[in-house]
Structure 1
């Protein structure tokens, strides 16, 4: 593969605040950094939970309406089901040495990846810069995110 065909920059948008919504983007961002690819991760809507200090340790698996789990909706909606599935998933990830969300964010940042929050969503949820983890590089408008992403690939997870 010639140099002009290699991906040099990737911008990943994370919009969901569940474990299964956040991890694909984090894994892709970390993998890109390990391959020497410039990475911007843009968190919007409930994806902000992954970088909000009060919520980033408490993300859960969404069991209702998640056909990949194979549970009928009635079973998936039972009290405690989301907590049970979340606990099992976290145990499996720990066995596979997949870091928890805060550690993953830190790894990506330490490797040179950039972490951004969506200004419109921050304002909508009435959040402030101090509500976010220390790795936050900035709060951007969508236009600023597109400018930052120019010349690269954009992935929406």
Structure 2
């Protein structure tokens, strides 16, 4: 014959409020401990330097076991294209340091101050800055955007492409990474953001 379950003692009426508060606090803590954190990100920019934040944050959160969704819209949608041709421009970006990844140490450690007038009028300056940035990333052992994107795909990050943006720019879905299975708009993204623990605009 199995033993009868032990019943918890019924609290006195005077202690009922305190007992209920304690039980509620315990249940809330249990729910919080068992809940999987969630993150949503809106990626709106498509330059080389601005591509890093959404992919780094998404891959890191996924590695921590979070549920992650990234909504790529406007220029950010280009980050999901099969062939990435990302560039970086120092023009209008005063916080960007211009350093040489090659040459003597005194040169590599020096911030090169180049007036915007020259940046705008030197042919090929943007391509040169992009090449230097990619070389710096390589030398410092930082993952490329392609590598970070694949990490996100392998970690089951939900990559959503903005349907309106694709229609606006006349982009065919065949141009995009096959991991992009959801093509939607703000009406789909907003409920996800509403329920997420963290929501970021980049």
Q: Same fold (TM over 0.5)?
A: yes
Q: 1:28 aligns with which of 57, 65, 74?
A: 57
Residue in 2 that maps onto 1:63: 90
TM-score normalised over the length of structure 2: 0.69
On the 8 A contact 1:13/1:42 being kept in 2, the answer is: yes
What corresponds to 1:156 in structure 2?
Answer: 201
C-alpha contact 1:51 1:102 (8 A) present in aligned 2:
no
C-alpha RMSD of the superposition: 2.0
Structure-1-length-normalised TM-score:
0.88
Verify: 1:100 aligned to 2:100, yes or no: no
Alignment of 1:1-157 (within 5 A): 4=32, 8-54=37-83, 56=84, 58-69=85-96, 71-77=114-120, 78-152=122-196, 153-157=198-202
Distance 1:137 1:31 in 2: 21
Task: Tell me if the contact between 2:36 and 2:65 (Cα under 8 Å) persists in the aligned partners.
Answer: no
Q: Conserved in 2, the CA contact under 8 Å of 1:119 and 1:139?
A: yes
Aligned mates of 2:119, 2:172 — CA distance in 1 = 34
- Runs (4 or more) in structure 1 with deviation over 6 Å come to none
Structure 1 stretches lacking a partner, 5+ long = none
Higher RCO (Cα < 8 Å, 6 or more apart) = 1
CA contact under 8 A between 1:105 and 1:135: conserved in structure 2? no
In the aligned structure 2, how far is the partner of 1:147 from the partner of 1:23?
Answer: 25
Deviation digits for residues 11-68 of structure 1, max 9, x if unmatched?
A: 11111110111111111111111111111111111111111124x1x10002211111
Q: Give the paired residue count.
A: 154
Mark the structure with the bigger radius of gyration.
2
Report deviation, 1:7: 7.6
| CA positional deviation for 1:76 | 2.2
Does the aligned pair in 1 maintain the 2:81–2:176 contact within 8 Å?
A: yes
More moved, 90-99 vs 10-19:
90-99
Give the distance between the partners of 2:150 and 2:56, measured in 1 at CA.
13
Whose strand proportion is higher, 1 or 2?
Answer: 1
Which structure 2 segments of 5+ residues have no match?
A: 1-28, 97-112
